[in-house]
């Protein structure tokens, strides 16, 4: 019985990921979850009391996976500059991954305070990863710099999500250049 409940909970989270990646937070409704999973709407309420509860669980499950991938990419980098570049590039690479598209949709969505707080905490953990590299580069306030850097990453994520004229690789390179060289770009 417990195994069956775990499978159904997993199916609901998977359906939530799909709905989020297809239509953002507005698409995540209990009727849609019920339809995707073949469960009665009342059954969905047995697993999650609200849409926010679904989002909170997805944050708890998916944000650590996102962060682990970014951390792994940074661990493979040798210099502080390469670590910063890996921090930016890996997050932008993950935008196209279905599991991570849900994270992007959640981050962009209108959410209640509890869900927003969970996202802030998850982002805080992500930001912490790059503080040391920024300190190694001589940044006077590396924590502040890391938060601003995440703002550049978030803007690049939104640009990729919009499907604008630039291809994702160009957006990623522009974000890395901004991260490493600011608005002046690399010196000649």
Quickly state the pLDDT bin for 149 (edges 50, 70, 90).
Answer: very high
Question: Span 118-136, mean pLDDT?
Answer: 83
pLDDT at 60 over 70: yes
Quickly state the pLDDT bin for 183 (edges 50, 70, 90).
Answer: confident
Question: Span 10-22, mean pLDDT?
Answer: 88
Q: Which long-range contacts (CB under 8 A, 24 or more apart) does 127-131 make?
A: 129/67, 129/70, 129/71, 129/74, 129/87, 130/74, 130/83, 130/84, 130/87
Cβ of 22: how many Cβ atoms within 10 Å? 14
Predicted pLDDT at 83? 97
Predicted pLDDT at 100? 65
pLDDT at 110 over 80: no
pLDDT at 82 over 80: yes
Name the average pLDDT for the chain.
Answer: 84
Question: Span 8-25, mean pLDDT?
Answer: 86
**Most trustworthy range by pLDDT among 34-43, 53-62, 155-164:** 34-43
Question: Span 121-145, mean pLDDT?
Answer: 88
């Amino acid at each position: 019985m417990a195994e069956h409940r775990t499978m159904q909970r997993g199916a609901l989270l998977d359906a939530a990921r799909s709905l989020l990646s297809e239509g953002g937070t507005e698409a995540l409704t209990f009727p849609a979850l019920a339809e995707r999973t073949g469960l009665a709407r009342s059954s969905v309420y047995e697993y999650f009391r609200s849409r926010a509860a679904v989002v909170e669980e997805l944050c708890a499950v998916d944000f650590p996976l996102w962060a682990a991938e970014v951390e792994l990419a940074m661990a493979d980098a040798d210099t502080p500059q390469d670590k910063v570049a890996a921090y930016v590039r890996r997050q932008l690479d993950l935008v196209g991954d279905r599991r991570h598209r849900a994270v992007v949709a959640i981050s962009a969505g209108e959410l209640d305070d509890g869900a927003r707080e969970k996202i802030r905490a998850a982002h805080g953990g992500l930001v912490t990863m790059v503080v040391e590299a920024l300190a190694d580069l001589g940044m006077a306030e590396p924590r502040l710099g890391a938060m601003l850097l995440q703002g550049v990453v978030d803007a690049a994520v939104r640009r990729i999500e919009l499907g604008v004229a630039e291809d994702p690789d160009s957006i990623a390179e522009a974000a890395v250049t901004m991260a490493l060289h600011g608005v002046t770009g690399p010196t000649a």
